[in-house]
Structure 1
């Protein structure tokens, strides 16, 4: 199988990930933070080691302000819905936002009567700051930015936006679902208040673990309350980080796997990972531009971009192409709207969707070449 669906979930994983998860299940499958015996302590030690690794990689202020969740969606919901909202509050978000951002914001529009502006990209990255600057008001409570588009691979300059927001009271939340483990992110230098991402994409961990990093000054209401393993006599949710924001049993095997995935990312190096994935994207774009009827969505030049390429072929249904690639060529891609309808509105592809190919650490140039041969054959077979 040639796996080109890395933007959905990275595969294959480093062998150390599965080994760590197996070890957790077989040797210390106790409940971390709930008991004093040595198995629970061992489970808790792995979780705290992972928090320290996350703090080091993303430069959050405190390990206690690193919250584990089920996935990026639950992390983003905690970030967005945990803010104290009042009628008339204002949010600025981008047209690249995933539904895990858009839908919580749209619900808040109905329930809390907040206002949301979705801003579109300009001609170059410096225009992002001027676009957002024009939308900022005294009522702006949150600026929500996805670091990289899961549809087109476009990268938003979160550092420039963070610099702009140093002069404003609005909180700054970044969705790094496509960039954690691919691009360097420094919460302190970039002035990021809230940072959310999954463990199962660029960080090479397993599914079932999401992360929310929170600056010390940020106040969040826990959206899930219950058992925390401490302060059990209190009727109210304890205001102790991170326990008060991690009700229920954590996914210890998944977190153990994430730790090993992050170690692999550190070993390879972010710059090498990024350049490798970008090279595969450009190789794909160069090949697709030679196929009659292909239309590439998003950036096509030599600017920095993620290893994500979206396209369609005039006159052919994208879902049919994806099915043929899977069944006849053993190539996995994703067709459709990718849970990002505003991006498709922006590029006028909502009616037909696109085919997305996305690359990871272990993909190769020869795999790209086989994919391009397959696309040419499919196009010729269906249209000629």
Structure 2
């Protein structure tokens, strides 16, 4: 199978990640729950992962990072933990449902939402942001890149604006962490939400949230932490403030190995390879008859994603034909309803090809030929 669905989850993991999970499964107990060798092994591994993640995102204090099961949990924590009735929040049309659905839930509780519109290529209209800011605006929340088009969002620009206007800046880096350098200080990010199973090359069930010092956030969950057992409230100190229950230590061990692989290989080298795969594919199909390609390809700064339709054919049918020929893609709505509305693809959906460092140029060339054959046969 040729796997071009890496924006959903990376299938091919470094061997080091697999080995780390296997080792953890045979040696790790419950972190912070006693002084047995198994518990201490888990505590040490999770601490090391927290430290490596802090360095990866230029976070000064690793205790400001709490582990979650994915970016969806992190985003729910950020949105529901910082917004309250009477607040106003600004977001974009590019957002995933992991941002939109928690926001719609908070809207029912009295939070007001405004959306930054896009141009015809799916880029946010940055000039409109100032017009949306009100006296009760609490935060701007946005993705770093569209999971549908691959368009990047200029989070440094928005971060500087948030700093100037004294607004919280909450960023979803699900599609970019592990491919693009992210610096919470330079980008003025107050809350960073990330997942482990995509370009960070870790196992599913891993992710996290960074919360800048001084930001009050209500925990999404409460429960056991291994400390302050007799207190009735969740401990106020990070990271236990946002970490209730047993952590996914085995998965975190794998995530740590994924980050170490990225550091060893070089994030710039990984990005260059993925971009080359994307451009080879794009240039090989852009002039095919009846091909529609979505997103902005007038810039080199974009995620390794190419999303298409063929004429008026349903995206699911196209993806099924590709799958029958051994190509795994993603069709449909991609959990990005507003982006599909903006592109006019609500009914048709779209077929997304997303590339990984572990894909090959031979795979790209083979899929280009498969698409040519599909188009010539319809």
TM-score, normalised by the number of residues in structure 1: 0.95
Q: Which residue of 2 aligns with 1:71?
A: 70
Quick check: 123-132 or 158-167, which moved more? 123-132
Whole-angstrom CA distance in 1 between matches of 2:205 and 2:287: 40
Shift, 1:61, TM fit: 2.9
Name the SS for the 2:82 alignment partner.
coil
Counterpart for residue 330 of structure 1: 326
* Per-residue CA distance 1:221-255 (angstroms, 9 max, x = gap): 00100111111111222212111211000001100
Partner of 1:101: 99
Q: CA deviation at 1:362?
A: 0.9
Report how far residue 51 of structure 1 moved: 0.5
Q: Say yes or no: does 1:274 pair with 2:307.
A: no
The 1-side partners of 2:156 and 2:162 are apart by 10
Q: CA deviation at 1:160?
A: 1.1
Trace 1:85-124 onto structure 2 (pairs within 5 A): 85-87=84-86, 89-111=87-109, 113-122=110-119
> Where in structure 2 are the equivalents of 1:232-311 lying within 5 Å?
232-311=229-308
1:356 matched residue in structure 2:
352
Counterparts in 2 of 1:125 and 1:136: CA distance versus 1, 3 Å: farther
| Residues 326, 71 of structure 1: alpha-carbon distance in 2 compared, 3 angstrom cutoff | same
In structure 2, the partner of 1:10 is 10
| Distance in structure 2 (CA, Å) of the matches to 1:218 and 1:74 | 18
Partners of 2:145 and 2:151 within 8 A in 1:
yes
User: Contact 2:120–2:343 (CA<8 Å) still a contact in 1?
Assistant: no
Q: Kindly indicate whether residue 144 of structure 2 is the aligned counterpart of residue 155 of structure 1.
A: no
- Residue of structure 1 in register with 2:363 after alignment: 367
Cα deviations across residues 113-149 of structure 1 (Å, max 9, x unaligned)?
1111111235899975422122112211010010011
Deviation per residue, 1:264-298 (Å, 9 max, x gap): 11122122222221222222121222221010011
Structure 1's 118 and 361: CA in aligned 2 closer, same or farther, altered over 3 A? same
Q: How far, CA to CA, are the matches of 1:123 and 1:312 in structure 2? A: 16
Native 8 Å contact 1:146 1:156 kept in 2: yes
Q: Residues of 1 paired with 2:312 and 2:338: CA distance?
A: 23
- Aligned pair in 2 of structure 1 residues 343, 126: CA closer, same or farther (>3 Å)? closer
Aligned length: 378
1:193-240 Cα deviation digits (max 9, x unpaired): 000010011110010011101101111000100111111111222212
Distance in 1 between residues matched to 2:51 and 2:111, nearest whole Å: 36
Q: Kindly state the Cα deviation for residue 315 of structure 1 after the two structures are TM-superposed.
A: 3.3
Deviation at 1:302, TM superposition (A): 4.0
- Greater alpha carbon shift after TM alignment, 269-278 vs 258-267: 269-278
Secondary structure of 1:82's aligned partner: helix
TM-score for the superposition, normalised by structure 2: 0.97
Instruction: State which drifts further: 293-302 or 39-48.
Output: 293-302
Q: Post-superposition shift, 1:83?
A: 0.9
In the TM superposition, what is the alpha-carbon distance from 1:322 to its structure 2 partner?
A: 1.0
Residue 316 of structure 1 corresponds to which residue in structure 2?
313
Match of residue 201, structure 2, among 201, 204, 207: 204
5+ long unaligned stretches in structure 2 = none
The answer to whether the 8 Å contact 1:129/1:164 transfers is no
Q: 1:127 to 1:251 in 2, by over 3 A?
A: closer
Work out whether residues 96 and 146 of structure 1, in 8 Å CA contact, stay in contact via their aligned partners in 2. yes
In the alignment, the residues of structure 1 paired with residue 332 and residue 120 of structure 2 have an alpha-carbon distance, to the nearest angstrom, of 26
**Corresponding position of 2:166:** 169
CA distance in 2: counterparts of 1:64 and 1:265, whole angstroms: 22
Cα offsets for 1:161-219 (capped at 9, x unmatched): 11111111210000000000011110011110000010011110010011101101111
**Kept after mapping to 1: 8 A contact 2:116/2:126:** no
RMSD: 1.6
The answer to whether the aligner puts 1:22 opposite 2:18 as a matched pair is: no
Task: Work out the CA distance in 2 between the residues paired with 1:291 and 1:178.
Answer: 28
Work out the CA distance in 1 between the residues paired with 2:175 and 2:123.
21
For 2:167 and 2:157, locate their aligned partners in 1 and report how far apart those are by CA, in whole Å: 15
Distance (whole Å) between structure 2 residues aligned to residue 345 and residue 146 of structure 1: 17
**CA offsets per residue over residues 290-321 of structure 1, 9 Å max, x none?**
22101001113243211001110013221112
- Residues 4/341 of structure 1: CA separation in 2 closer, same or farther (3 Å cut): same
